[in-house]
Protein backbone atom coordinates (compact mmCIF):
# COMPACT_ATOMS: atom_id res chain seq x y z
CA UNK A 1 0.00 0.00 0.00
CA UNK A 2 1.16 3.55 -0.66
CA UNK A 3 3.28 5.41 1.85
CA UNK A 4 1.52 8.64 2.81
CA UNK A 5 3.14 11.84 4.00
CA UNK A 6 0.79 13.74 6.32
CA UNK A 7 1.33 17.50 6.24
CA UNK A 8 0.04 19.35 9.31
CA UNK A 9 0.49 22.98 10.43
CA UNK A 10 1.24 22.18 14.09
CA UNK A 11 1.64 18.66 15.41
CA UNK A 12 0.72 17.33 17.83
CA UNK A 13 -1.74 19.66 19.58
CA UNK A 14 -4.21 19.10 22.38
CA UNK A 15 -7.33 20.18 20.48
CA UNK A 16 -6.66 18.35 17.18
CA UNK A 17 -6.67 14.74 18.29
CA UNK A 18 -8.48 13.73 15.09
CA UNK A 19 -5.20 13.93 13.14
CA UNK A 20 -3.44 11.34 15.28
CA UNK A 21 -6.56 9.15 15.34
CA UNK A 22 -6.76 9.19 11.54
CA UNK A 23 -3.04 8.45 11.10
CA UNK A 24 -3.24 5.46 13.44
CA UNK A 25 -6.30 4.17 11.56
CA UNK A 26 -4.47 4.43 8.23
CA UNK A 27 -1.52 2.54 9.71
CA UNK A 28 -3.92 -0.16 10.92
CA UNK A 29 -5.08 -0.58 7.33
CA UNK A 30 -1.49 -1.20 6.23
CA UNK A 31 -0.26 2.21 5.07
CA UNK A 32 3.16 3.43 6.08
CA UNK A 33 2.66 7.01 7.28
CA UNK A 34 5.17 9.81 7.81
CA UNK A 35 3.95 12.99 9.59
CA UNK A 36 5.42 16.39 8.63
CA UNK A 37 4.72 19.64 10.46
CA UNK A 38 5.86 23.24 10.52
CA UNK A 39 6.12 23.39 14.30
CA UNK A 40 5.45 21.21 17.37
CA UNK A 41 2.57 21.87 19.76
CA UNK A 42 3.25 22.73 23.39
CA UNK A 43 0.44 20.55 24.75
CA UNK A 44 -0.72 17.26 23.29
CA UNK A 45 -2.46 14.03 24.17
CA UNK A 46 -0.28 11.14 25.43
CA UNK A 47 -1.70 8.98 22.61
CA UNK A 48 0.17 11.19 20.11
CA UNK A 49 3.56 10.88 21.80
CA UNK A 50 4.79 8.10 19.50
CA UNK A 51 3.75 10.04 16.39
CA UNK A 52 5.50 13.13 17.75
CA UNK A 53 8.78 11.24 17.89
CA UNK A 54 8.26 10.15 14.26
CA UNK A 55 7.22 13.60 13.00
CA UNK A 56 9.71 15.49 10.85
CA UNK A 57 9.62 19.27 10.96
CA UNK A 58 10.40 21.36 7.90
CA UNK A 59 13.16 23.09 9.85
CA UNK A 60 15.09 19.79 9.75
CA UNK A 61 15.49 20.14 5.97
CA UNK A 62 18.22 22.32 4.43
CA UNK A 63 17.19 25.97 4.05
CA UNK A 64 17.53 25.79 0.28
CA UNK A 65 17.42 22.16 -0.92
CA UNK A 66 17.85 22.43 -4.69
CA UNK A 67 17.48 18.73 -5.52
CA UNK A 68 14.10 19.28 -7.20
CA UNK A 69 14.51 22.89 -8.32
CA UNK A 70 14.57 21.90 -12.01
CA UNK A 71 10.99 20.66 -11.64
CA UNK A 72 9.67 24.04 -10.49
CA UNK A 73 7.89 24.52 -13.82
CA UNK A 74 5.37 21.93 -12.63
CA UNK A 75 4.24 24.17 -9.78
CA UNK A 76 4.89 27.59 -11.35
CA UNK A 77 1.26 28.26 -12.25
CA UNK A 78 0.03 27.26 -8.79
CA UNK A 79 2.65 29.47 -7.15
CA UNK A 80 1.58 32.48 -9.17
CA UNK A 81 -2.04 31.96 -8.04
CA UNK A 82 -1.21 32.26 -4.33
CA UNK A 83 -1.96 35.60 -2.72
CA UNK A 84 -1.33 34.49 0.86
CA UNK A 85 2.35 33.61 0.32
CA UNK A 86 5.21 35.04 -1.66
CA UNK A 87 6.28 32.99 -4.65
CA UNK A 88 9.84 32.37 -3.41
CA UNK A 89 8.85 31.67 0.21
CA UNK A 90 6.30 29.04 -0.77
CA UNK A 91 8.66 27.52 -3.34
CA UNK A 92 11.37 27.22 -0.66
CA UNK A 93 9.01 25.47 1.78
CA UNK A 94 7.78 23.22 -1.01
CA UNK A 95 11.36 22.29 -1.83
CA UNK A 96 12.01 21.52 1.85
CA UNK A 97 8.97 19.27 2.10
CA UNK A 98 9.83 17.60 -1.22
CA UNK A 99 13.36 16.96 0.07
CA UNK A 100 12.04 15.21 3.20
CA UNK A 101 9.26 13.32 1.41
CA UNK A 102 11.68 12.06 -1.24
CA UNK A 103 14.05 10.84 1.47
CA UNK A 104 11.14 9.01 3.10
CA UNK A 105 9.91 7.60 -0.23
CA UNK A 106 6.40 9.00 0.16
CA UNK A 107 4.02 8.17 -2.67
CA UNK A 108 1.17 10.51 -1.68
CA UNK A 109 0.94 13.75 0.32
CA UNK A 110 -2.18 14.43 2.40
CA UNK A 111 -2.58 17.78 4.19
CA UNK A 112 -4.88 18.78 7.01
CA UNK A 113 -6.34 22.32 6.91
CA UNK A 114 -6.55 24.29 3.65
CA UNK A 115 -3.95 26.87 4.68
CA UNK A 116 -0.17 26.92 4.19
CA UNK A 117 0.07 23.19 4.95
CA UNK A 118 -2.02 22.43 1.88
CA UNK A 119 -0.25 24.99 -0.30
CA UNK A 120 3.15 23.56 0.65
CA UNK A 121 1.95 19.98 0.12
CA UNK A 122 0.68 20.84 -3.36
CA UNK A 123 3.99 22.47 -4.34
CA UNK A 124 6.01 19.53 -2.99
CA UNK A 125 3.76 16.97 -4.68
CA UNK A 126 4.09 18.75 -8.02
CA UNK A 127 7.86 18.90 -7.64
CA UNK A 128 7.92 15.14 -6.96
CA UNK A 129 5.14 14.35 -9.46
CA UNK A 130 3.08 12.42 -6.89
CA UNK A 131 -0.62 12.79 -5.97
CA UNK A 132 -1.80 15.20 -3.28
CA UNK A 133 -5.01 15.70 -1.29
CA UNK A 134 -6.20 17.82 1.60
CA UNK A 135 -8.88 18.03 4.28
CA UNK A 136 -11.05 21.10 4.83
CA UNK A 137 -12.13 21.53 8.45
CA UNK A 138 -13.82 24.76 9.51
CA UNK A 139 -12.01 28.06 9.89
CA UNK A 140 -9.86 27.25 6.85
CA UNK A 141 -12.99 27.07 4.69
CA UNK A 142 -15.45 29.48 6.33
CA UNK A 143 -13.53 32.06 8.38
CA UNK A 144 -10.11 32.69 6.86
CA UNK A 145 -9.82 30.81 3.56
CA UNK A 146 -6.56 31.33 1.66
CA UNK A 147 -6.55 30.95 -2.12
CA UNK A 148 -8.99 28.07 -1.75
CA UNK A 149 -10.09 27.95 -5.40
CA UNK A 150 -6.58 27.27 -6.71
CA UNK A 151 -6.06 24.54 -4.09
CA UNK A 152 -9.34 22.87 -5.00
CA UNK A 153 -8.27 22.75 -8.63
CA UNK A 154 -4.70 21.58 -7.93
CA UNK A 155 -5.46 18.68 -5.58
CA UNK A 156 -6.17 15.19 -6.87
CA UNK A 157 -9.02 14.94 -4.38
CA UNK A 158 -10.38 16.82 -1.37
CA UNK A 159 -11.92 15.61 1.88
CA UNK A 160 -14.78 17.52 3.52
CA UNK A 161 -15.78 16.76 7.11
CA UNK A 162 -19.48 17.57 6.55
CA UNK A 163 -21.94 16.98 3.73
CA UNK A 164 -22.66 20.72 3.50
CA UNK A 165 -18.96 21.41 2.99
CA UNK A 166 -18.72 18.63 0.43
CA UNK A 167 -21.55 20.09 -1.62
CA UNK A 168 -20.13 23.61 -1.39
CA UNK A 169 -16.58 22.65 -2.39
CA UNK A 170 -17.67 20.33 -5.19
CA UNK A 171 -19.23 23.26 -7.06
CA UNK A 172 -15.77 24.86 -7.30
CA UNK A 173 -13.74 21.94 -8.67
CA UNK A 174 -13.86 18.96 -10.99
CA UNK A 175 -11.67 16.98 -8.60
CA UNK A 176 -13.58 14.55 -6.38
CA UNK A 177 -14.68 15.93 -3.01
CA UNK A 178 -15.25 13.12 -0.51
CA UNK A 179 -17.36 13.33 2.63
CA UNK A 180 -15.04 11.91 5.29
CA UNK A 181 -16.03 13.08 8.78
CA UNK A 182 -13.57 12.86 11.66
CA UNK A 183 -14.01 9.56 13.47
CA UNK A 184 -13.38 8.14 16.91
CA UNK A 185 -10.97 5.34 17.76
CA UNK A 186 -13.54 2.70 18.70
CA UNK A 187 -10.92 0.60 20.45
CA UNK A 188 -10.62 3.29 23.14
CA UNK A 189 -14.28 3.03 24.13
CA UNK A 190 -15.72 0.21 26.24
CA UNK A 191 -19.21 -1.25 25.78
CA UNK A 192 -22.03 1.02 26.87
CA UNK A 193 -22.23 1.31 30.66
CA UNK A 194 -25.73 0.14 31.60
CA UNK A 195 -25.18 0.93 35.29
CA UNK A 196 -25.14 4.69 34.66
CA UNK A 197 -25.69 6.76 37.82
CA UNK A 198 -24.48 10.32 37.19
CA UNK A 199 -23.97 12.54 40.24
CA UNK A 200 -23.31 15.81 38.39
CA UNK A 201 -25.45 17.76 35.94
CA UNK A 202 -23.64 19.19 32.92
CA UNK A 203 -20.24 19.10 31.22
CA UNK A 204 -18.73 21.30 28.53
CA UNK A 205 -15.47 20.35 26.78
CA UNK A 206 -13.69 22.48 24.21
CA UNK A 207 -11.59 25.56 23.51
CA UNK A 208 -12.92 28.73 25.07
CA UNK A 209 -13.52 30.61 21.83
CA UNK A 210 -16.51 32.40 20.29
CA UNK A 211 -17.80 29.55 18.11
CA UNK A 212 -18.39 27.36 21.18
CA UNK A 213 -21.27 29.57 22.38
CA UNK A 214 -20.20 29.66 26.03
CA UNK A 215 -21.76 33.05 26.71
CA UNK A 216 -25.12 31.52 25.72
CA UNK A 217 -24.43 28.57 28.02
CA UNK A 218 -23.68 30.78 31.03
CA UNK A 219 -26.82 32.85 30.45
CA UNK A 220 -28.82 29.63 30.20
CA UNK A 221 -27.30 28.34 33.42
CA UNK A 222 -28.32 31.53 35.20
CA UNK A 223 -31.97 30.64 34.45
CA UNK A 224 -31.73 27.25 36.16
CA UNK A 225 -32.15 26.37 39.87
CA UNK A 226 -29.20 27.35 42.04
CA UNK A 227 -28.22 23.74 42.72
CA UNK A 228 -27.58 23.09 38.98
CA UNK A 229 -23.88 22.58 38.27
CA UNK A 230 -21.69 22.87 35.16
CA UNK A 231 -18.04 21.87 34.71
CA UNK A 232 -16.16 23.60 31.88
CA UNK A 233 -13.12 21.66 30.62
CA UNK A 234 -10.76 23.51 28.32
CA UNK A 235 -8.90 26.76 27.98
CA UNK A 236 -8.61 29.59 25.51
CA UNK A 237 -8.61 33.35 24.98
CA UNK A 238 -12.14 33.88 26.32
CA UNK A 239 -11.49 32.39 29.75
CA UNK A 240 -11.02 35.74 31.58
CA UNK A 241 -14.16 37.28 30.05
CA UNK A 242 -16.19 34.12 30.72
CA UNK A 243 -15.06 34.12 34.34
CA UNK A 244 -16.17 37.73 34.58
CA UNK A 245 -19.54 36.95 32.99
CA UNK A 246 -20.07 34.08 35.42
CA UNK A 247 -19.55 36.47 38.34
CA UNK A 248 -21.84 39.10 36.78
CA UNK A 249 -24.58 36.50 36.42
CA UNK A 250 -24.14 35.39 40.02
CA UNK A 251 -22.97 31.91 39.05
CA UNK A 252 -19.84 32.17 41.19
CA UNK A 253 -20.17 33.76 44.62
CA UNK A 254 -19.57 32.97 48.28
CA UNK A 255 -23.01 31.41 48.58
CA UNK A 256 -23.43 29.93 45.12
CA UNK A 257 -20.97 28.16 42.79
CA UNK A 258 -22.71 26.67 39.80
CA UNK A 259 -19.88 26.75 37.26
CA UNK A 260 -16.35 25.42 37.60
CA UNK A 261 -13.57 26.14 35.11
CA UNK A 262 -11.35 23.05 35.19
CA UNK A 263 -8.81 24.00 32.50
CA UNK A 264 -7.06 21.57 30.13
CA UNK A 265 -7.62 17.86 30.61
CA UNK A 266 -6.18 14.91 28.71
CA UNK A 267 -8.53 12.82 26.58
CA UNK A 268 -8.34 10.00 29.13
CA UNK A 269 -10.05 12.31 31.64
CA UNK A 270 -13.13 12.48 29.41
CA UNK A 271 -13.37 8.71 29.18
CA UNK A 272 -12.87 8.35 32.95
CA UNK A 273 -15.38 11.00 34.03
CA UNK A 274 -18.06 11.17 31.31
CA UNK A 275 -20.37 8.89 33.27
CA UNK A 276 -20.29 11.34 36.20
CA UNK A 277 -22.50 13.75 34.23
CA UNK A 278 -26.07 13.71 33.06
CA UNK A 279 -25.33 15.48 29.74
CA UNK A 280 -22.73 17.11 27.57
CA UNK A 281 -23.81 20.66 26.68
CA UNK A 282 -22.28 21.98 23.45
CA UNK A 283 -24.01 25.26 22.47
CA UNK A 284 -22.15 25.73 19.19
CA UNK A 285 -22.66 28.90 17.19
CA UNK A 286 -21.16 30.74 14.21
CA UNK A 287 -18.49 33.27 15.21
CA UNK A 288 -18.65 36.82 13.80
CA UNK A 289 -15.83 35.97 11.37
CA UNK A 290 -17.77 32.97 10.04
CA UNK A 291 -15.81 30.33 11.93
CA UNK A 292 -17.86 27.36 13.06
CA UNK A 293 -17.47 23.79 14.25
CA UNK A 294 -17.96 21.11 11.61
CA UNK A 295 -18.91 17.63 12.71
CA UNK A 296 -17.68 18.19 16.29
CA UNK A 297 -15.68 15.23 17.56
CA UNK A 298 -16.65 15.98 21.17
CA UNK A 299 -20.27 15.03 20.34
CA UNK A 300 -19.22 11.73 18.77
CA UNK A 301 -17.07 10.98 21.80
CA UNK A 302 -20.01 11.70 24.11
CA UNK A 303 -22.21 9.31 22.14
CA UNK A 304 -19.54 6.61 22.40
CA UNK A 305 -19.31 7.18 26.16
CA UNK A 306 -23.06 7.01 26.73
CA UNK A 307 -23.25 10.69 27.63
CA UNK A 308 -26.46 12.35 26.35
CA UNK A 309 -25.92 15.45 24.21
CA UNK A 310 -27.60 18.86 24.32
CA UNK A 311 -26.42 21.05 21.47
CA UNK A 312 -27.65 23.48 18.79
CA UNK A 313 -29.00 23.28 15.25
CA UNK A 314 -25.59 23.95 13.69
CA UNK A 315 -25.48 21.99 10.43
CA UNK A 316 -22.54 19.84 11.52
CA UNK A 317 -24.48 18.76 14.61
CA UNK A 318 -27.57 17.99 12.52
CA UNK A 319 -25.57 15.50 10.45
CA UNK A 320 -24.45 13.62 13.55
CA UNK A 321 -27.61 13.66 15.65
CA UNK A 322 -30.33 13.77 12.96
CA UNK A 323 -32.88 15.01 15.54
CA UNK A 324 -33.12 11.58 17.18
CA UNK A 325 -29.82 10.92 18.92
CA UNK A 326 -29.70 14.01 21.17
CA UNK A 327 -31.39 17.32 21.99
CA UNK A 328 -30.94 20.35 19.74
CA UNK A 329 -32.02 23.96 20.21
CA UNK A 330 -31.66 27.08 18.04
CA UNK A 331 -28.21 28.68 18.10
CA UNK A 332 -27.72 31.69 20.43
CA UNK A 333 -31.06 31.15 22.20
CA UNK A 334 -30.21 30.93 25.89
CA UNK A 335 -33.84 30.53 26.96
CA UNK A 336 -34.37 27.54 24.66
CA UNK A 337 -31.10 26.07 25.91
CA UNK A 338 -32.13 26.64 29.53
CA UNK A 339 -35.46 24.89 28.90
CA UNK A 340 -33.73 21.91 27.29
CA UNK A 341 -31.25 21.66 30.16
CA UNK A 342 -34.00 21.96 32.79
CA UNK A 343 -36.14 19.29 31.10
CA UNK A 344 -33.19 16.94 30.69
CA UNK A 345 -32.09 17.43 34.29
CA UNK A 346 -35.48 16.24 35.54
CA UNK A 347 -35.56 13.18 33.31
CA UNK A 348 -35.23 9.90 35.25
CA UNK A 349 -32.20 7.81 34.32
CA UNK A 350 -34.49 5.05 33.05
CA UNK A 351 -36.00 7.43 30.49
CA UNK A 352 -32.58 8.21 29.02
CA UNK A 353 -31.47 4.61 28.49
CA UNK A 354 -33.00 4.33 25.02
CA UNK A 355 -31.43 7.51 23.65
CA UNK A 356 -28.04 6.50 25.10
CA UNK A 357 -28.23 3.13 23.36
CA UNK A 358 -29.35 4.63 20.04
CA UNK A 359 -26.59 7.25 20.12
CA UNK A 360 -23.95 4.64 20.97
CA UNK A 361 -25.02 2.38 18.08
CA UNK A 362 -25.13 5.36 15.72
CA UNK A 363 -21.56 6.53 16.39
CA UNK A 364 -20.13 3.01 16.29
CA UNK A 365 -21.86 2.37 12.99
CA UNK A 366 -21.24 5.68 11.21
CA UNK A 367 -18.34 7.56 12.81
CA UNK A 368 -15.42 5.28 13.65
CA UNK A 369 -11.98 6.31 12.45
CA UNK A 370 -11.38 2.93 10.82
CA UNK A 371 -14.51 3.15 8.65
CA UNK A 372 -13.55 6.66 7.51
CA UNK A 373 -9.93 5.63 6.93
CA UNK A 374 -11.08 2.83 4.61
CA UNK A 375 -12.75 5.40 2.35
CA UNK A 376 -9.66 7.62 2.38
CA UNK A 377 -7.37 4.64 1.71
CA UNK A 378 -9.51 3.49 -1.22
CA UNK A 379 -9.19 6.92 -2.86
CA UNK A 380 -5.44 7.15 -2.24
CA UNK A 381 -4.86 3.68 -3.72
CA UNK A 382 -7.01 4.47 -6.77
CA UNK A 383 -4.67 7.24 -7.95
Nearest CA to 181 out of 321, 287, 71, 330 is that of 321
Q: Looking at the structure, tell me whether residues 222 and 357 fall in a common domain.
A: yes
Give the model's pLDDT for residue 255: 60
Q: Looking at the structure, tell me whether residues 298 and 191 fall in a common domain.
A: yes
- pLDDT tens digit sequence for 293-336: 988 999 999 999 999 999 999 989 999 998 889 999 999 999 99
Arithmetic mean of pLDDT, 156-175: 96
User: What span, in angstroms and rounded, lies between the C-alpha atoms of 233 and 246?
Assistant: 15
Q: Looking at the structure, tell me whether residues 191 and 160 fall in a common domain.
A: no
CATH of the domain at 292: 3.40.50.2000
Q: In what order do the strands lie in the sheet with 157-160?
A: 56-57, 33-39, 4-10, 108-112, 132-136, 157-160, 177-179
pLDDT surpassing 70 at residue 100: yes
The single-letter DSSP state of residue 257 is B
Give the model's pLDDT for residue 346: 94
In angstroms, how far is CA 63 from the centroid of its own chain? Answer: 31
Q: Looking at the structure, tell me whether residues 82 and 169 fall in a common domain.
A: yes
Average pLDDT for the chain: 94
Q: Looking at the structure, tell me whether residues 178 and 255 fall in a common domain.
A: no
What is the domain extent for residue 329? 186-366
Contact 230, 217 (CB under 8 A): yes
Q: Looking at the structure, tell me whether residues 355 and 377 fall in a common domain.
A: no
Residue 277, phi-psi category: left (phi > 0), alpha (psi -120 to 50), beta (remainder): beta
Give the model's pLDDT for residue 64: 87
- DSSP, residue by residue, 3-72: -EEEEEEE-S-TT-HHHHHHHHHHHHHT--EEEEEEE--SS--GGGHHHHHH-EEGGGS-SS--TTGGGG
In angstroms, how far is CA 215 from the centroid of its own chain? Answer: 21
pLDDT band at 254 (very low <50, low <70, confident <90, very high): low
pLDDT band at 41 (very low <50, low <70, confident <90, very high): confident
Q: Looking at the structure, tell me whether residues 220 and 362 fall in a common domain.
A: yes
Q: Looking at the structure, tell me whether residues 209 and 349 fall in a common domain.
A: yes
Q: Looking at the structure, tell me whether residues 43 and 191 fall in a common domain.
A: no
Amino acid sequence: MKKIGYVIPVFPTLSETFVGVEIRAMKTLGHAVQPYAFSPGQHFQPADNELKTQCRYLSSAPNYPFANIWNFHRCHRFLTQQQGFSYLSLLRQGLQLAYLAQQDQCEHLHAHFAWHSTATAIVAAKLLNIPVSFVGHGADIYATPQDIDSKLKAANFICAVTKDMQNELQTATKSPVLHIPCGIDASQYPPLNTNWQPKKDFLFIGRLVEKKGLDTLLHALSQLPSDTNLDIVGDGPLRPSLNQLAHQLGLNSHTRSQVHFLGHKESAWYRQHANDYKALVAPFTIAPNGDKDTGPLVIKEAMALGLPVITTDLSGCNEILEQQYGLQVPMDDHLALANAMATHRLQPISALKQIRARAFDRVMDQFTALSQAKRLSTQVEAL
